[in-house]
Amino acid sequence: MSRALRCGGLACALAGALGLSLVVLPASPASAANEVVQKWLTTSDLSQHLTQQANLGFSGSSGSGTISVDSTQSFQSIVGFGAAMTDTSAWLISNKLSGTAHMNLMNALFSPSQGIGMSWVRVPMGSSDFSATAQPYSYDDNLSVSTGTTVGVGSGRCLDDTGNPANGVQVYIWDCTGGNANQQFAYTSSSQLQVAGKCLDANGQGTTAGTKVILWTCNGQPNQQWKLNINGSITGVQSGLCLDVSGAGTGNGTLIQLWTCSGAANQQWTRPDPSLANFSIAHDLSYIIPDLKQALALNPGLKLMANPWSPPGWMKSNGQMNNINNGGSLLSSSYAPLAQYFVKFLQGYAAQGVPISAITAQNEPSFATAYPGMNFSEQNEASFIANNLGPALAQANLSPAVLGTDFNTNVLNNYALPLMQDANASKFLAGTAWHCYAGGLSALSTMHSAFPNKDNYETECSDGIDPQNAIETFIQSTRNWARTATMWNIAEDQNNGPVIPGGCNACTPLVTINQGTGNVTFDAGYYSVGHFSKFVQPGATRIASTTTSNLDDVAFRNPDGSLALIVDNTSGSTQSFSTSSGGQQFSDTLPSHAIATYKWTPSGTASNVG
């Protein structure tokens, strides 16, 4: 389904935003002796969009239907269904809608009674490719006031005052030595880099390539002001040139100069913060956490998972958050700090009233990206979980479900299985997280067969780039033991952004928010997710159901005893079919590429649905 429904104007009421059929979806009735079957329909053109249809009824036929639902066969329990609250999504929802439109949209997303009641949300830890400013960020970029070493990415050596901090001495790089006062540069609120009471200075207020970088008595002049940039460069405020290791040298004593910024490794620097003294979730306090708290208030059953696309650049071999050419590996010295980074994040969110129930160590490990990413081999992830993350969480009395892999099904054999086979790591792993982009979701069943006591979660899929549509991702994932099914961005703007250059320009959201007009578009993925999240409650159990070549489906038994069946007509023609359950049948017809959710409560089952 490629069409979408639009809502014009910031004053648009919830009725207009969702369509009259979905404003307040009719509550399911209590159990009825004749087992009334309720039906909600979405057609491929969205002329019907989660629209409740006339009730159906069971007949007394005892034969097998086209689809047979058997509630005596049970499989996995369900945690929830939803999408990701990226920085982009939260910023658009909080900053591009009026107060009324914002409340209407949050109700449409999270309210079980007034919307689709999403019960599962993924939260990036720091920047993913979808960042409101189209720039990366972490919770400890260490670009503000601090004192410590300044390490050259290309050389691995530290900026050093030579041990002779006299006026005019040209600084150089030298082997980093813990506690060496020559290398303890303080970055001040005046944008100065100070050591031994002197300031880093562009000699003679030079603004041309080749200008020497020296020490000089601090005087407040602009040639002593520097900007620490997220890409790892340090630029002179006056000159706009980059702090550069002469000749791209890597040896002790190589001198520092100004040079035209090129992005080369000899112009990249990190200011490590291994104690995480500058860690802060302040970035998230303005709109991400408020949106999540509102979502939790609307749906107290909502569960959240979190994971990083990249740790802070100073933790990595390339000094940056990107993973261009897979050059951004976790430094051996950063394993313990990264574990504490998780601890501080979980504690910080919990203190804000936003508990995180699941985490993964790394999004799409070892996928080369121009946006935040990290080269993280299976062996390295196993070591990190076994020796750092697991013990750190235990010591802090934190117990989120730790999931491995968080990547596509085509890494089953070379990543997911060996990670779980690592005894030291697997004792901390609750299961495996999967993305949809390689298709082959039967890999989840393979993983379940190999490790039946570990869980599987589908944690990312985006319409626009997925090999199947959202409804098929949700059906196939859950038929293959997934306890969650998760789409990507909850919201994007009219240009499928904001997104960091090199990120996914083709990814489409559940909801599109036009930055200029405030118009809201409810895309097909929104209704696909709703066919699950609205009717399948957290704690539901998947039950057996048969499929055909034209009708794909999955069935669940909710905690209240009601049964939900989601059916997707995958064919190009209308399909008439019957469904049997408990010795009875009902019949129906689905248009081409239409989706329907059927819900009923077997006779004699106590129910409090609604």
Domain contains 10 = no
35, 378, 460, 492: the active-site residue? 460
Number of domains in the chain: 3
pTM value > 0.75: yes
Is there a single domain that holds both residue 66 and residue 90?
no
pLDDT of residue 26: 40
Domain contains 18 = no
Amino acid of residue 70: D
364, 381, 472, 492: the active-site residue? 364
Tell me, yes or no, if 492 is annotated catalytic.
no
Low-confidence ranges of the chain (pLDDT < 50): 1-3, 6-33, 607-610
Given 270, 292, 314, the domain boundary residue is: 270
Is there a single domain that holds both residue 492 and residue 441?
yes
Domain contains 39 = yes
Is there a single domain that holds both residue 482 and residue 376?
yes
Say if residues 393 and 402 touch (Cβ distance below 8 Å). Answer: yes
Is there a single domain that holds both residue 244 and residue 389?
no
Rounded Cα distance, 543 and 185, in Å:
62
Domain containing residue 245: CATH number: 2.80.10.50
Is there a single domain that holds both residue 498 and residue 449?
yes
Nearest to 537 by CA among 508, 575, 564, 503: 564
Is there a single domain that holds both residue 377 and residue 498?
yes
Tell me, yes or no, if 458 is annotated catalytic.
no
- Domain containing 592: what range? 31-76+541-600
Is there a single domain that holds both residue 253 and residue 384?
no
Domain contains 512 = no
Please give the angle made by the CA atoms of 234, 240 and 245, to the nearest 5 degrees: 45
What are the distances in angstroms from CA 475 to CA 449, 463, 469, 478, 555? 19, 15, 10, 5, 9
Domain contains 534 = no
Is there a single domain that holds both residue 309 and residue 434?
yes
Q: Is 495 exposed, middle or buried (0-12, 13-18, 19+ CB in 10 A)?
A: exposed
Given 225, 250, 270, the domain boundary residue is: 270
| Residue ranges with strand state E in 261-413 | 269-270, 303-307, 322-323, 358-360, 369-372, 401-408
Enclosing H/E stretch for 290 = helix 288-298
Given 270, 302, 331, the domain boundary residue is: 270
Is there a single domain that holds both residue 265 and residue 151?
yes
Domain containing residue 114: CATH number: 3.20.20.80
Q: DSSP of 396-437, one letter per residue?
A: TT--PEEEEEEEEGGGIIIIIHHHHH-HHHHTT--EEEEEST
Is there a single domain that holds both residue 448 and residue 427?
yes
Domain contains 248 = yes
Is there a single domain that holds both residue 545 and residue 570?
yes
Radius of gyration of the chain, Cα coordinates, nearest whole angstrom = 28
pLDDT in tens, 283-333: 999 999 999 999 999 999 999 999 999 999 999 999 999 999 999 999 999
Is there a single domain that holds both residue 206 and residue 290?
no
Measured from the Cβ of residue 268, the count of other Cβ atoms closer than 10 Å reads 24
Domain contains 336 = yes
Domain containing residue 591: CATH number: 2.60.40.1180
Rounded Cα distance, 567 and 216, in Å:
74
Domain contains 526 = no
pLDDT of residue 610: 37
Q: Is 236 exposed, middle or buried (0-12, 13-18, 19+ CB in 10 A)?
A: buried
Say if residues 102 and 93 touch (Cβ distance below 8 Å). Answer: yes
Amino acid of residue 517: T
Token pair 């999967």 is found at 434
Say if residues 322 and 135 touch (Cβ distance below 8 Å). Answer: no
